[in-house]
Structure 1
């Protein structure tokens, strides 16, 4: 797998994993069925997916480049905020659009 394929795979994975906690309202980590998830549970699950995405990125970088470049705190802060931006559609759907559609539907 070359670097371009790794980047696209990582971006796709990050976008999907960032939105899963908000789109799966009655599932915790895709397997545990729960009656209702609070926003705190959603955020904990979202952060766990952020860490999983980071580990996946680490492994992809190791496999495609042969080494992993060291990063400072700035890199991790930017990736956290990018993951937040990726989660925006799922968050809006879960907390704004879904209730709006129930009211007016």
Structure 2
């Protein structure tokens, strides 16, 4: 496969992973936390999920880069920028969960 396809795979994976904590009440979309239907997952748990998923996507990107060839070393600037980009990608899920007006 080519580099362009791997880049798009990482971008799409990051967009899906960034929104996953906001679109469900389960831990990482797999582990049910409570059986009570009225329970809502707290924001701190969603943020922890977001951080863990950021590093998971980073590991997948690292593995894809290693499969292509040389892995480039990254400084703190790279992680600051990709972390901010991951938060921007999470914005639609945040809006749907917390800012959208709920109809009763």
TM-score, normalization: structure 2? Answer: 0.91
Q: Does 1:102 align with 2:88?
A: no
Which secondary structure does the structure 1 equivalent of 2:70 belong to? coil
1:17 match: 17
2:59 match: 55
Unaligned runs of 5+ in 1: none
TM-score, normalization: structure 1? Answer: 0.90
Task: Encode CA deviations 1:65-88: one digit per residue, 9 max, x unaligned.
Answer: x11001110000000000000000
Unaligned runs of 5+ in 2: 34-38
Task: Note the aligned Cα RMSD (angstroms).
Answer: 1.0
Aligned residues: 99
Which secondary structure does the structure 2 equivalent of 1:54 belong to? helix
Quick check: which one's helix share is greater? Answer: 1
> Aligned equivalents of 2:81 and 2:63: distance in 1?
19
